[in-house]
Amino acid sequence: MISYIILEDEISDIETLRAYLKPDARFFERGAFDSITKMDAFLKDHKIDLVFADIKIGDTNLLTHWAKMTKRPEIILITSYPQYALPAFAVEALHFITKPIKPEILYTALERAGLGFFRMVPS
């Protein structure tokens, strides 16, 4: 089972991501956070496999913070800012998705990440 968290400050984007991941029982959400501080507090006490995260959380740029982390899970970035694609890979992101989230792009990202996600598009 792949445990994941979501770092996102837009409720609609959280719900969309949940809807796409829910059909596959191999994925288990451990929480959703609207700030990097809350995510850090959670990660201090819990091991997770994957983070789905926006880059701009409030006034903070996640990439700057992520680069400084010594122990970090895998990450797939989902953002409205395509100019962050190259810097995202500098912090070893598994994939970079621009919003709005499209299921086929998400599933491709998961396949490329080696997570073996089946192409199940929710109706």
- pLDDT of res. 121: 46
- pLDDT of res. 28: 93
Q: Could you tell me if residue 123 is inside a domain?
A: no
Q: Could you tell me if residue 122 is inside a domain?
A: no
Q: Could you tell me if residue 46 is inside a domain?
A: yes
Q: What is the pLDDT of residues 51-109, one digit of tens each?
A: 999 999 988 899 999 999 988 999 999 999 999 999 998 999 999 999 999 999 998 88
Q: Could you tell me if residue 71 is inside a domain?
A: yes
Largest distance between two CA atoms of the chain:
40
Q: Could you tell me if residue 21 is inside a domain?
A: yes
Domain tally, the chain: 1
Residue 14 has pLDDT above 90, yes or no: yes
pTM: 0.90
- pLDDT of res. 117: 55
Q: CB pairs under 8 A, 24+ apart, for 65-68?
A: 65/36, 66/91, 67/91
Q: Distance between CA 94 and CA 96 in Å, rounded?
A: 7
Which residues form the domain of 94? 2-112
CATH of the domain at 56: 3.40.50.2300
